Amino acid sequence: MKDNGMVIIGAGETGARAAAGLREQGWTGAITLIGEESHAPYERPPLSKQVLQEAGEPSPAYIVTAEKLKEQRIDFIHGSKAASIDRNNHIVAIGDGRQFRYERLLLATGARPRMLQLPDSGSGASQASNIRYLRSYADALALRSRLQPGQRVAIIGGGFIGLEVAASARYQGCAVTVIEAGPRILMRGVPESIGRVVEARHRGEGVSFKLNAGIQAIESAESESIITFTDGEALAFDVILAGIGAVPDTVLASGCGLTIENGIAVDERLCTSDPDIFAAGDCCSFPHPLYGGMRIRLEAWRNAQEQGTHAAGSMLGSTEAYSAVPWFWSDQYDLTLQVTGLPHTARTTVHRSLGATGDLYFHLADGYRLAAASAIGRNGIAKDIRLAEMLIASQAALDPVQLAAPDIKLRSLLTINA
């Protein structure tokens, strides 16, 4: 048994930021960081982009090295899966039998890819066995080895991950088809007008799309796989990747009786139903004060960072509520797409042309309160999205006419509503 003051399960973005945050915020006691992978904590966004595209041998984009963790006196237990949590005795057990006692525990277990389920001849559904997923560095390396010129690649799912991989596969000279069950790509959280721009850019690079597509079966035939669709069409591919979302990893949390609600349910401080256990990042759902306490779960790089740091403060006794405005981004070819806030909570949308830079959309809730903003362009949209983020945080009522006018600077609206 090892006596450890603070234990963190999950050595990804959130867990690494939390460990660093504990030290930065004054904790001098023991910290144990437990991770399933053999690597030190690394960034996941490059997995669908740089790792797949680099000409030379890639390496993980480390958040922090094992040496730096050692310098910070953080006990890094890598290549080990946490097996159980004994809440009564404050003990975490890992698969090899070792146990760690905690004063406070953070669950930063993240999410896992949603598995593609296919109809079968019986009463249930079957999981396709010849499908690739992208979540870890090992997944990216395995996929990278298959993205050779001329390979026929099917991307199931027209969301951020699927489209980023589609762009990377085209960069490597593959023939790419994006298969989407819905009527358009980027159905979740992105305006249709932006989705059209992204689709047109992909088509311009030679990507094919099959929309409103239902998959009946996927079968292996020698060195290829055949996808049969519900409309009767059958297409052959060399590589199939499913990017159809992720599900929060709540196995440990549910196993020890914590409340689960679209992830591990936490309060505004990121504390679970156990006062000594916290959760942060992709694995948790939390009430957001800017949206009337609506419980949300975010799968986003910056949220993982910010919640990790916030959770560290809460573990040390801070009572501050987590209220950061959500922010997402995606790079595809020479296009950058950014979204701040929650577009699905809005009732109307206002468009502002940024000229050659791109297009900006304001998503307004009741009372003309800015609920979200989204933008797409080639350069320069980040500044406008950052100002929109500040306007969202201000929760002020805004004039749609002013929002639409390119000659009215967003910063002036921020000053008026300060």
99 neighbors 2 (Cβ within 8 angstroms): yes
Domain boundaries, the chain: 2-49+58-109+250-315, 117-243, 334-416
Task: Give pLDDT tens digits for 94-143.
Answer: 999 999 999 999 999 999 999 998 876 444 555 566 799 999 999 999 99
Q: What angle do CA 351, 212, 164 make, to 5 degrees?
A: 60
* One fold for 2-49+58-109+250-315 and 117-243: yes
Query: How is domain 334-416 classified at the architecture level of CATH?
Result: 2-Layer Sandwich (3.30)
Rounded to whole angstroms, the Cα distance separating 139 from 170 reads 18
Alpha helices in 57-216 (DSSP H): 66-71, 137-144, 160-171, 192-204
Rounded to whole angstroms, the Cα distance separating 412 from 410 reads 5
CA distances from 3 to 6, 7, 83 (A): 9, 10, 18
Task: Give pLDDT tens digits for 252-266.
Answer: 999 999 999 999 999
Radius of gyration of the chain (CA): 23
Burial level of 244, CB count in 10 A (0-12/13-18/19+)? Answer: buried
Q: What was the pLDDT predicted at 129?
A: 63
Task: Give pLDDT tens digits for 323-370.
Answer: 999 999 999 999 999 999 999 999 999 999 999 999 999 999 999 999
* pLDDT, the chain, mean: 94
Residue length of the chain: 418
The whole-model pTM stands at 0.94
Give the β-pairing of 239-242 and 74-77: unpaired
Specify the DSSP element, H or E, that contains 372.
Answer: strand 370-377
Which one is the CATH code of 2-49+58-109+250-315: 1.10.1200.10, 3.50.50.60, 3.30.430.20, 3.40.366.10?
3.50.50.60
396 confidence band (pLDDT: 50, 70, 90): confident
CATH superfamily assigned to domain 117-243: FAD/NAD(P)-binding domain (3.50.50.60)
pLDDT (mean) for 232-248: 96
At 136, phi and psi to the nearest 5?
A: -115, 170
